Structure 1
Amino acid sequence: MAKYIAQIIVLGTQVVAKAFARAVKQEWAASQEAARRAGGGQRGANRAAANSRTGMTLEEAQQILNVDGLQPEEVQKKYEHLFNINDKSKGGSFYIQSKVFRAKERIDEELSQNTAEASKKKEDPPKEGT
Structure 2
Amino acid sequence: MSSPRAIIQILITGTRILGKAFFEAGRQAAKNARAPTPGSLGNDVAGVGHASSSSITDQLTRQHRMTLDEAHLILNVKRGEEMENVLKHYEHLFKANSPPQPPANTDTPKTARSPGQFYSHYLQSKVFRARERIEAESNIVVEGEAEATQKAGQKAESSSSHPPPPPPTGSS
Q: Aligned-pair RMSD on alpha carbons?
A: 3.3
Matched, 1:66 2:102: no
1:77-103 Cα shifts (integer Å, max 9, x gaps): 100111111111164212111111110
Matched, 1:82 2:109: no
Q: CA deviation at 1:20?
A: 5.0
Identical aligned pairs, as a percentage? Answer: 32
In structure 2, what residue type is equivalent to 1:86? N
User: What SS does the corresponding residue of 1:118 show, helix, strand or coil?
Assistant: helix
Matched, 1:114 2:141: yes
Matched, 1:11 2:33: no
Matched, 1:97 2:110: no
Distance of 2:121 and 2:29 partners within structure 1: 42
Q: Who wins on radius of gyration, i.e. which is larger?
A: 2
Distance of 2:131 and 2:124 partners within structure 1: 11
Distance of 2:76 and 2:142 partners within structure 1: 22
Any unmatched runs of 5+ in structure 2? Answer: 1-11, 40-45, 102-117, 160-172
Q: CA deviation at 1:19?
A: 3.5
Higher helix proportion, which one?
A: 1
With normalisation by structure 2, the TM-score equals 0.53
What is the number of equivalent residue pairs in this alignment?
115
1:83-124 Cα shifts (integer Å, max 9, x gaps): 111111164212111111110011000000000111111111
Any unmatched runs of 5+ in structure 1? Answer: none
In structure 2, what residue type is equivalent to 1:48? D
With normalisation by structure 1, the TM-score equals 0.68
1:21/1:87 Cα in 2 relative to 1: closer, same or farther (>3 Å)? same
User: What SS does the corresponding residue of 2:142 show, helix, strand or coil?
Assistant: helix
Q: CA deviation at 1:23?
A: 3.8
Greater shift, 91-100 or 73-82, is seen at 91-100
